[in-house]
Amino acid sequence: MEKERKNDRAWLLMDRQRHGVVEAAGDFAALFGLKCEQVKEDPSQVFAVVSGENGESFAALLGDWNGTVPVSFSVSWNDGERWGEVSLCPLAERDEVFVLFREITDERKLMADMDRKLLLAQEESLAKSAYLSDMSHEIRTPMNGILGLLKLAEGLIPEGGPLDTYMKKIRRLSVHLMSLVNDILDISRIESGRETLENGPVDLYAFGRRLRDMFWESTRQKGIALTVEWLDFDCGSVLGDELRLSQIMMNFLSNAVKFTSAGEIRVTLRQLHREGGSVDLMFRVQDTGIGMDPETIRRIFRPFEQADDHTRSTFGGTGLGMTITDRIVRLMGGEITVESAPGQGSAFSVYLNLLEAPEEGRKEPARGNFSFAGKRVLLAEDNRINGEVAVSLLQDLGAEADWAKDGREALELFEKSPLFFYDVVLLDVRMPRMGGREAARAIRGLKREDAKSTLIFALSADAFPEDRRLSTESRMDGHFAKPVDFEGMQEEIGRMLSEGKDDGERHVESFSA
């Protein structure tokens, strides 16, 4: 059996005045090929075999030591194949020095192997993240054109006819396809450890109202009552990731609508405890739907699993929604509970501890009556179909749009325009010659009065949190993810215009279909 080198060690007791060896013990044979008696007679044989990390002689290392404080330093054997550690400890009362030699070759190799594996894992993670970003971009770019063209076509077709029905079904299927793609991309990012959380003010009253507005029509069509309630609140605004909170509640609500044919869906936001600047909260969605047995409850948070084959064939979906929700809640440091029984509905509850928002973050955003009518928009988009669609949709909303094929052309158009000619600048991020973020920074840097005040938004198929942060750093006012909801964009731009902006305090939000 091979001897473990990590146990190979030897020591010397040396006289500090005469530099002679008082005692030698340990496995000098394994370390240096010498007997203890040989080392006692001539310790220079040991010192000649090893040198410091930077090639210093052992004598030089000893010479640099102040002789009063214990110290350890790494050494290597002169054959370059072995490494060791030498520790010096003064014994003041005896005017002697204790010198310990220990081989650390196996440790060094293990550390080098761990460093190599860590670097490889980091490279794989970065490659996976880049791949997911590219996949998201490549899928969202054509979907943006498809949904935009559908919107334009719907405006040309008489309502209520067969063609109108077909178009609406195509739109629903397209939106459903995007939700499936988003689920797959989300779980991939979370599993790879690339998902991060934002931290901004969340008005819980406005948050609940937005959930109600989003699901009002779908519940009305099924004849289901939708109720949103706020209980026991004396703190209405917290710090958190509103986009991910919305995703959690939208997953719960989507399932509630899907599996409930009659009765009620109740959304409850409740403050449980408040102390020391933090708030314990409960977010609950309760329905009167088909319910679940205990085995189904255990399965629903597993990736790609649904209640059964009948559920999959009847209701569709990837089986990832609840998995993603569970991972996001864990990322937030919270927990999910489920109460359900067959035929008696289900209640999904999320418990989170969040910090209170500062006073300035508690005001609900103003909503302006902005209209694109008569406004001038500068659009930069290198994809021909997406550019044509965006211009047409903006024109349908009453805007006058100038279309640049890349960031450099957009910069040139802005430079040549009269002061305050453009009300809004929309920039695709990935473009030849000059990308949108580079163009935004260049526009902000122009020496003209409107360069800092004109609203600039990213209009991009890049939809991850780091993409939003990059837009923030590029001094953009917002990041709209493709496929773009132009009516939602109009509402948000209206809010920002109604509030006014301070160039020193830019706030970036993200919007996606």
pLDDT tens, position by position, 97-108: 888 888 888 888
Q: Cα–Cα distance between 416 and 414 in angstroms, integer?
A: 5
Query: Which CA distances in Å does 128 have to 58, 189, 463?
Result: 47, 8, 15
Report the run of H or E that residue 272 belongs to, with start and end.
Answer: strand 264-275
Q: Is the CB of residue 276 less than 8 Å from the CB of residue 238? A: no
Residue type, 403: W
DSSP 62-106: HHHS-SSS-EEEEEEETTSS-EEEEEEEEEGGGTEEEEEEEE-HH
Q: Is residue 157 part of a domain?
A: yes
Whether residue 3 is predicted with pLDDT greater than 70 in this model: the reply is no
Predicted TM-score (pTM) of this structure = 0.54
- The pLDDT mean for the chain works out to 82
Q: Are residues 260 and 236 in the same domain?
A: yes
The Cβ of residue 73 has, within 10 Å, a number of other Cβ atoms equal to: 16
Whether residue 502 is predicted with pLDDT greater than 80 in this model: the reply is no
Query: Which CA distances in Å does 35 have to 10, 40, 42, 45?
Result: 11, 9, 11, 11
Q: Is the CB of residue 480 less than 8 Å from the CB of residue 459? A: yes
Q: Are residues 258 and 348 in the same domain?
A: yes
Q: Is residue 79 part of a domain?
A: yes
3-state secondary structure of 58: helix
Q: Show Cβ contacts of residue 60 under 8 Å, excluding neighbours closer than 6 positions.
A: 52
pLDDT tens, position by position, 77-92: 766 678 888 888 888 6
Q: Are residues 454 and 500 in the same domain?
A: yes
Query: Which CA distances in Å does 152 have to 29, 337, 425, 484, 485?
Result: 86, 44, 22, 13, 13
Whose tokens are 């440091």? That residue is: 333
Q: Find, among 374, 379, 414, the residue nearest to 397 by Cα.
A: 374
pLDDT of residue 315: 43
Q: Are residues 139 and 259 in the same domain?
A: no
Whether residue 510 is predicted with pLDDT greater than 60 in this model: the reply is no
Q: Find, among 476, 435, 484, the residue nearest to 458 by Cα.
A: 476
Q: How confident is the model at residue 513 (pLDDT cuts 50, 70, 90)?
A: very low
pLDDT tens, position by position, 40-88: 888 887 777 777 666 677 767 766 776 666 677 677 776 667 888 888 8
Question: 14: domain range?
Answer: 5-103
CATH number at residue 465: 3.40.50.2300
Q: Show Cβ contacts of residue 397 under 8 Å, excluding neighbours closer than 6 positions.
A: 371, 372, 373, 486, 487, 490
pLDDT tens, position by position, 345-398: 999 999 999 999 887 644 544 445 667 788 899 999 999 999 999 999 999 889
| HSE-CB of 190 using CA atoms within 13 angstroms | 21
Q: Cα–Cα distance between 242 and 195 in angstroms, integer?
A: 15
CATH number at residue 171: 1.10.287
Tell me the sheet residues that pair with 83.
Answer: 76
3-state secondary structure of 472: helix
pLDDT of residue 360: 60
Q: Are residues 442 and 399 in the same domain?
A: yes
CA 417 to chain centre: 38
Q: Are residues 397 and 493 in the same domain?
A: yes
Whether residue 441 is predicted with pLDDT greater than 70 in this model: the reply is yes
pLDDT tens, position by position, 201-215: 999 998 999 899 888
Residue type, 415: E
Q: Is residue 112 part of a domain?
A: no
Domain total of the chain? 4
DSSP 7: G
Q: Are residues 296 and 233 in the same domain?
A: yes
pLDDT of residue 2: 43
Residue type, 359: E
